[in-house]
Amino acid sequence: MSRRLFGTDGIRGTANREPMTAETALKVGMAAGLHFRRGNHRHRVLIGKDTRLSGYMLEPALTAGFVSMGMDVILVGPLPTPAVAMLTRSMRCDLGVMLSASHNPFEDNGIKLFGPDGFKLSDAVEEAIEDHIENGIRGHLVPPGELGRARRLEDVRGRYIEFVKATFPKGLTLSGLRVVVDCSNGAAYRVAPEILWELGAEVIALGDEPDGYNINRECGSTSPKEMCRKVVEYRADFGIALDGDADRVLIADEHGTLVDGDQLMGVIAEHWAGTGRLTGGGIVATVMSNIGLERFLRRRGLTLVRSQVGDRYVFEQMRSGGFNIGGEQSGHIIFSDYTTTGDGLIAALQVLAVIAESGRRASDACRVFEPVPQVLRNVRFNGGQPLECEAVKTVIADAEQRLSDGGRLLIRKSGTEPLIRVMAESEDAALLNTVLDEICGVIQHAAH
């Protein structure tokens, strides 16, 4: 069965347009409630959200759906996605929901679902939920006396703050470090500055005044220029840029130079291997990660296992191979010793721990390999299957042959936007851009 609603990271779209409408949210709540309503215990679902205006529309619609299926709803308000995953498991909920479109602009929103174990749902479970929606759920509504209840829980922010702080090595402190943190006007706008300050840092907070419209707007991990500028202006030691739901992070060194997720994984993997904490003999990264990371790990006797794009696919590989570090170049990094999904704050703290322990500057500690030149371009399309076009297949095959000596080509559809993503790597920068121009031009022609 092909999935109609779910993409690589839950359901996502423009708010108040299908599928991101109150009606669909109601049906998702009902269908997910039906699927996870097992046994005779009192069922509970936890719902968190980021700071988008449309959260006020989707939250009550989902709540109504779950209540109609006999599930009690715990509303926690704006919290990072990893906090929802953690709380779902620690509070023994049957299901967790995060309302967020991650790094997308405020006009978009999304529904991410977590099982009772705190893991994102498998493809099979998502297909089962869609099947419930399409084949009728009204016959399964509970009688009036079995309706669920909804309540707001006020102490959850403190629970998450203490959880994140506990991942920082005991005996270490951030005292003496000045840190700029850009909260992207999103879900971590309160917890991120508090965590860093309580660990001893001097904190300069940006993007901590959400108004429903400014999430990810010229701020956060997708637009980190202001964070980098403030690092230099305030002579900070370290900069942190989170995305709208704080499950990914980019950092800047003391010069305001960005460090991506590949470098961060390399830093932490090397440190954990040296202290005996790394499991699996390496890490998991996606097909998008730079080949330079793979070469760096190989020189240290470590492996890099690649998964398809999407943090839940990273985690599946981590579980099957016994790895405790995995992630994406975008800064979506998972530490399975602590979490079941990416957590930007925990990732930042692991890097800060290396800096605090070693006494090195961020510019020295966070650049562990020289990346192979890599360029990613996006081609927007309006439906159809441009990658099935014979002209597109031909130009791709030709490019693969030309890049075969030390280069790499990856072309895929985005799981969250109507885009074809074209990524190429090569030591030959001129060849790299020529190949990308040719491929993108042919795809663009086929897409219109």
Q: Say if residue 74's pLDDT is above 50.
A: yes
- Please state, for a pLDDT cut of 90, what percent of the chain lies above it: 80
Active-site annotation holder among 100, 102, 184, 426: 102
Give the model's confidence band at 206: pLDDT under 50 very low, under 70 low, under 90 confident, else very high. Answer: very high
Q: What is the mean pLDDT of residues 343-358?
A: 96
Q: How far apart are CA 107 and CA 52, in angstroms?
A: 8
50 — alpha (psi -120 to 50), left (phi > 0) or beta?
beta
Give the whole-angstrom CA distance, residue 426 versus residue 409.
9
Domain 374-446 CATH (choose: 3.40.640.10, 2.20.28.270, 3.30.310.50, 3.40.50.450): 3.30.310.50
Going edge to edge, which strands form the sheet with 178-182? 202-206, 178-182, 238-242, 249-252, 258-259
Burial 267-294 (b: 16+ CB within 10 A, else e): bbbbbbbeeeebbbebbbbbebbbbbbb
Q: What is the pLDDT of residue 362?
A: 97
d(CA 143, CA 25): 21
pLDDT value at residue 1: 45
Give yes or no for residue 155 having a pLDDT over 70: yes
* CATH code for the structural domain at 11-154: 3.40.120.10
C-alpha distance from residue 246 to each of 145, 317, 351 (Å): 39, 22, 16
pLDDT the model gives residue 202: 98
Under CATH, what is the fold of the domain 261-343? Alpha-D-Glucose-1,6-Bisphosphate; Chain A, domain 3 (3.40.120)
More confident: 102 or 382: 102
Nearest Cα to 108, choosing from 309, 244, 311? 244
CATH H-level superfamily of 159-258 = Alpha-D-Glucose-1,6-Bisphosphate, subunit A, domain 3 (3.40.120.10)
Torsion sign across C-alpha atoms 409, 221, 324, 274: positive
What 8-state DSSP symbol labels residue 342? -
Mean pLDDT of 339-346: 95
| Domain layout of the chain by residue ranges | 11-154, 159-258, 261-343, 374-446
Q: For residue 289, indicate whether it is catalytic.
A: no
Among residues 238, 233, 180, 228, the alpha carbon closest in space to that of 208 is found at 180
pLDDT given at position 186:
98
pLDDT at 3: 65
Please tell me the predicted confidence (pLDDT) of residue 8.
Answer: 75
Predicted confidence (pLDDT) per residue in 245-273, tens digit:
999 999 999 999 999 999 999 999 999 99
CB-facing half-sphere around the CA of 171: CA atoms within 13 A = 1
Cis peptide before 19 (omega within 30 of 0): yes
Going 184 to 190 to 196 to 197, the CA torsion angle's sign is: positive
Strand order in the sheet with 11-14: 11-14, 108-114, 95-99, 44-49, 72-78, 150-152
DSSP 40-84: SSPPEEEEEE-S-TTHHHHHHHHHHHHHHTT-EEEEEEE--HHHH
Q: Tens digit of pLDDT for each residue in 374-428?
A: 888 998 887 778 888 899 899 999 998 898 777 889 898 886 678 899 999 998 8
pLDDT of residue 296: 97
Q: How high is the pLDDT of residue 43?
A: 96
Asked if the domains 11-154 and 374-446 are classified in one and the same CATH topology, the answer is no
Report, as an integer, the average pLDDT of 40-67.
97
